[in-house]
A and B are shown apart, each in its own frame.
Chain A
Amino acid sequence: EVQLVQSGAEVKKPGESLKISCKGSGYSFTTYWIGWVRQMPGKGLEWMGIIYPGDSDTRYSPSFQGQVTISADKSISTAYLHWSSLKASDTAMYYCARHTIAAAGGGFDIWGQGTMVTVSS
């Protein structure tokens, strides 16, 4: 079974760092892109960026460039989303999802269960 399993919920203080994870199984992790999506409470889905674990090629949304770092460790089939200094406005549900890319576009097909990040003093 193809699946993505994300790390558990986090509660952090402003200014702290955080790295959440997304482990893939049931498919060749290095031959699909993995993306991250933010969903703030009561709001819509926002595309943050994607990474190709095979060569670590990474693309960011302009809205998230410089705010987070996306990485992957192909040896353990795991992608990461990292903040160096959290803000209260980072409070949200974060989803990872497998992403295909073709000449005419691409999209997410398999989603993780989500990781809730709460940032509060």
Chain B
Amino acid sequence: SYELTQPPSVSVSPGQTARITCSGDALPKKYAYWYQQKSGQAPVLVIYEDSERPSGIPERFSGSSSGTMATLTISGAQVEDEADYYCYSTDSSGNHWVFGGGTKLTVL
């Protein structure tokens, strides 16, 4: 079955740039989506179609994709950005979608 691989944790100081990666064999041809989930809350879409930002999401959130890796970048991370982040995409057939294992971002 298809898998997306993320690092379990990333830690930065406030104001630094946080980068969270997601690797998957189908990513060269399939979009990556990124979700932020704060403790006790439903996930929120922060990046769609590799690099598009939904309205209401701060400009410090950006996304990119190259080859088999997609990256979520938080430029000038804030304490309120502490959360679990999940990438999401589909396999090459386009019939089955998967989440990455999630990355816990710590900002302190």
Distance in Å from the Cβ of B96 to the closest Cβ of chain A? Answer: 6
- A106 on the interface (CB 8 Å rule)? yes
CB of A112 within 8 A of CB of B45, answer no
Which residues on B are within 8 Å of A, measured CB to CB? Answer: 1, 29-33, 35, 37, 42-45, 48-49, 54, 84, 86, 88-90, 94-102
CB of A45 within 8 A of CB of B45, answer no
- A76 on the interface (CB 8 Å rule)? no
Given A45-B86, A111-B43, A113-B42, the answer on whether A62 and B96 have CB atoms closer than 8 Å is yes
Distance in Å from the Cβ of B9 to the closest Cβ of chain A? Answer: 13
CA distance A95 to B43 in the complex (A): 9
CA distance A101 to B97 in the complex (A): 11
CB of A111 within 8 A of CB of B88, answer no
CB of A45 within 8 A of CB of B48, answer no
Chain A interface residue number, banded = 20 to 34
Which residues on A are within 8 Å of B, measured CB to CB? Answer: 35, 37, 44-47, 50, 59, 61-63, 95, 97, 101-109, 111-114
CB of A108 within 8 A of CB of B35, answer yes
CA distance A70 to B35 in the complex (A): 23
CB of B99 within 8 A of CB of A62, answer no
